[in-house]
Chain A
Amino acid sequence: MLRFLVRRLALTIPVLVGVATLVFALIHLIPGDPAHAMLGETAAEEDVQALRERLGLDRPLLEQYGRFLGGAVRGDLGTSLRTNEPVATAVVDRLPATMELAAAAMVIAIGAALPLGIIAAVGRGTVVDHAATTLSLVGVSIPNFWLGPLLAIVFAVELGWLPVSGRGTWAHLVLPAISLGAALGAILARMTRASLLEELREPYVQAARARGASRARAVLRHAFRNSLIPVVTLVGLQFGAVLTGAVITETIFAWPGIGRLLIQSIGFRDYPLVQGCILFIAVTYVGMNLLTDLVYGVLDPRIRYE
């Protein structure tokens, strides 16, 4: 297990360096002079020069790159152009809101997907299966930037049951979490169905039935538990989709998380903050994928020896 862990960690380091390099390169993709672009065309030349010096844009490229990587390792991502707040502080301050939303979305997705997937697999080929499969495909196809406003129209505007935006009570969390979790739930339901169908064909399930286990017990105690391995992996891998979806969901529901911070900082051309948000989300995603790999290695020992 230790060798597996070390090998996976070793594979992650070049990816992280590559991610940081791409994020560093972003500021240099800005057409023309980045400092001019950040301050606007009408900015005074001395202000532009001051910003260049502040961001180190007047230094040789390699030196800029070295400082960026060094800063990223130490958790120093510069300061926001608009608020002068350290970028790392701004991002970390928004982290609990994003994590709360992501966790709630995943709980809703898993809670809906597992029963739906089981019902579809057990009743394979029946009307229930077709209905569940179609529902999950519809769920994948409905964009969260449409589902969110629709839910708000029905449950906040028409029925007045839930608040339309903001963060505070659990009621504020319901609509954003459903909006963010729907697509993930649909994907998980499809995977649960496919994985459970595979397991139901295995001899050990028939053996359990032959030993007198009821159909429900054979499905839930035997086949379902084994079918969860790919589902757990998919939950981990889909965490990235949840983080990206949070950018949109947080914007719709004015949820004060990292995604909303990213979109606001793009609007203000606060590029150090844009870089910080993107780097943070990408590194979190890489970390989550690594964790998923390790959990998969624990659940299925064959993976460790591949």
Chain B
Amino acid sequence: MSKVGGAIVLVAVLAAVVGPWLAPFDPADQELALRLAGPTGAHWFGLDELGRDIFTRVLVGARISLMVGLVVVSVSSTVGIALGSVAGYFGGRIDEGISRLIDILLAFPGLLLAIAVVAVLGPSLTNVVLALTLIGWVGYARLVRGQVLRARELEFVQAARALGASTPRILVRHIIPTTLPAVTVQATLGMGGAILAEAALSFLGLGVQPPTPSWGTMLNYGRGHLLDAPHLTIFPGLAIAALVLGFNFLGDGLRDAIDPAMRGRRT
């Protein structure tokens, strides 16, 4: 399944990188006479309410989704690793403070805090990334904190300490690398989560604003045409589901490959 996931993600990355050049139309081009027309040989996914080619907009939309996923996951994981390792390594009041902050942020279910932040800052791509990062780091910090708590007692870490290695060196060279496999799995699954969250916010009208083609925004506009033009809903949604499924397959496969218990069962 991880190969299927990898293939889906690869196609999406290709669509994001070269899609805009391969796209048969400009994403902003309008053919008002053909507005809401269904799929044809020329327009594979049909046209939207302004007569724009949906296939082109889905291709270009891959860029927004992957970019949001990448930025959110990179920043969240960096912040999460930094705070989680500091909390786990130093313990005491630093750990107390960071852990309480994690508890408070985890008290907001899922997207709720992101919805709240975007509601007050205003709908835009930047604010979506900011809001998702604000809640995204928490999961990484909790994961890394747990891993560091265990790793700091390992023999090679104590040996490094005995040899006089500085704390930053012990953290960066010896402890943090032990957390990276688990972080990689979480980041892969987190890509799917971030893409889904961006699409959800855009669907609610709180994310990417028109005319920028975003899959969630396209779905939002499709809502008004469920009766007369269901293709507005079907194709962008299919793209979101496929890409998220791809990252979930990939993350699941990575977890199985990394988890020694699972490896043990296979051999």
Could you tell me which A residues sit within 8 Å of B by CB distance?
A: 14-16, 18-19, 21-23, 26-27, 29-31, 134, 137-138, 140-143, 145-146, 149-150, 152-153, 157, 164, 239-241, 243-245, 247-248, 251-252, 262-263, 266-267, 271, 274, 278, 281-282, 285-286, 289
Contact = CB atoms under 8 A, between A and B. Distances in A.
Contacts, number: 131
A153 B226 CA distance: 6
B95 interface: no
A42 to B, nearest CB: 17
A31 B196 contact: no
- In order of increasing CB-CB distance, the 9 nearest A-B pairs are A240-B109, A146-B237, A18-B104, A244-B110, A141-B245, A141-B244, A266-B119, A145-B203, A285-B109
B97 to A, nearest CB: 12
A263 B107 CA distance: 20
Contacts of A248: 200, 203-204
A16 B244 CA distance: 33
Interface in B173-199: 192, 196, 199
Interface of B, secondary structure class, is helix
Contacts of A281: 109, 112
Contacts of B122: 31
Given A146-B219, A157-B227, A134 B111 contact: no
Interface of B: 1, 100-101, 103-104, 107-113, 115-117, 119-122, 192, 196, 199-200, 203-206, 216, 219, 222-223, 226-227, 230, 233-234, 237-238, 240-241, 244-245, 248-249, 252
A296 to B, nearest CB: 17
Nearest to A11: B103
7 contacts: A18-B101, A31-B121, A143-B199, A146-B219, A244-B112, A266-B115, A281-B109
B226 A15 contact: no
A244 B249 contact: no
Contacts of A282: 107-109, 112
B107 A262 contact: no
Contacts of B241: 138, 141-143, 146
A143 B248 CA distance: 13
A251 B204 contact: yes
Contacts of A137: 1, 245, 248-249, 252
Nearest to B109: A240
A134 B216 CA distance: 24
Contact of B248 (A30, A141, A263, A289): A141
